[in-house]
Amino acid sequence: NIMLIIPAIDLKDGHCVRLKQGDMEASTVFSEDPGAMAKHWLDQGCERLHLVDLNGAFAGKPVNEAAIKSIVSAIGGQIPIQLGGGIRDLDTIERYLDDGIDYVILGTAAVKNPGFLHEACYAFPGQVIVGLDAKDGKVAVDGWSKLTGHDVIDLAKKYEDCGVSSIVYTDIGRDGMMTGVNIEATVALAKALMIPVIASGGVTNLDDVRKLCDVESEGIIGTITGRAIYEGSLDFAAAQALANELSLNAS
The catalytic residue positions are: 10, 133
Report the C-alpha gap between 11 and 168 in whole angstroms.
18
Report the C-alpha gap between 198 and 5 in whole angstroms.
10
Backbone angles phi, psi at 166, to 5 degrees: -165, 170
Report the C-alpha gap between 220 and 204 in whole angstroms.
17
**91: how many CB neighbours lie within 10 A of its CB?**
8
Nearest to 92 by CA among 109, 75, 71, 70: 109
Report the C-alpha gap between 32 and 51 in whole angstroms.
15
Output the CA torsion 228→233→235→236 (10° steps).
Answer: -10
Q: Where are the alpha helices (DSSP H) in the chain?
A: 34-43, 54-59, 65-75, 90-99, 108-112, 114-123, 152-162, 183-192, 206-214, 227-231, 236-250
Q: Which letter does DSSP use for residue 100 in this model?
A: T
